[in-house]
Amino acid sequence: MMAGRRTAMALAASAALLCVSAPTAAADNAVLGSTCYQGWYAFTVTAAGGDIPAGSQWTSSWTAASQIPAEYHVLSFPRVIDYTPVNTHLVTLTNPAPIAAGTRVVLEPSGYSLTNKSRLTLKLSGYGGSTGRTFPVGEWPTC
């Protein structure tokens, strides 16, 4: 009876150690950046330090001195992150399922005002930090 109890305790201790050493999701699992996508400036979300858990969130926005009405949206490639418009300058982004470690997602912003009379700022922030770029007057977000 004593040997059985010791075995059970040893198994429980081993299981506890496994639970403690299992990887946990952390904001540093995501690295935010930018790239050129189909000739235009785009954001990237890379699952670099492990999986990005389902339900992670980001916001993306644009600002310009010239506020020509537009309908801002951000599409993901591959389609693993959904966007929800908040207003004409802001969207929220959420991944409904985990994003596997090593996956790079391109986020293509569009529907912002293009004008050569004011600068344009595109931003992405949330799980993993923030990134963005300001394009000076006369420079479009092309590459």
Please name the residue that has the structure tokens 């540093």: 28
Quote the tokens at residue 112. Answer: 């912002």
Tens digits of per-residue pLDDT, 52-108? 999 999 999 999 987 676 789 999 999 999 999 999 999 999 999 999 999 999 999
Residue 138, helix vs strand vs coil: coil
- Tell me, what amino acid is at 104? R
- Tell me, what amino acid is at 123? K
Q: What span, in angstroms and rounded, lies between the C-alpha atoms of 76 and 23? A: 26
Q: What is the pLDDT of residue 124?
A: 98
* DSSP tag of 56: -
Tens digits of per-residue pLDDT, 98-142? 999 999 999 999 999 887 888 999 999 999 999 999 999 988 899
Q: Which residues contact 65 (CB under 8 A, 6 or more apart)?
A: 117, 118, 119
Q: Half-sphere exposure (CA, 13 Å, Cβ side) for 107?
A: 31
User: pLDDT averaged over the chain?
Assistant: 84
User: In terms of DSSP bridges, do strands 90-94 and 82-87 run parallel, antiparallel, or are they unpaired?
Assistant: antiparallel
Main-chain dihedrals φ then ψ at residue 2, nearest 5 degrees: -65, -40
Q: What is the pLDDT of residue 113?
A: 85
Question: Per DSSP, what are the bridge partners of residue 134?
Answer: 121
Q: What is the pTM of this model?
A: 0.80
- pLDDT top residue among 47 and 23: 47
Query: Distance of alpha carbon 73 from its chain centroid, rounded?
Result: 14
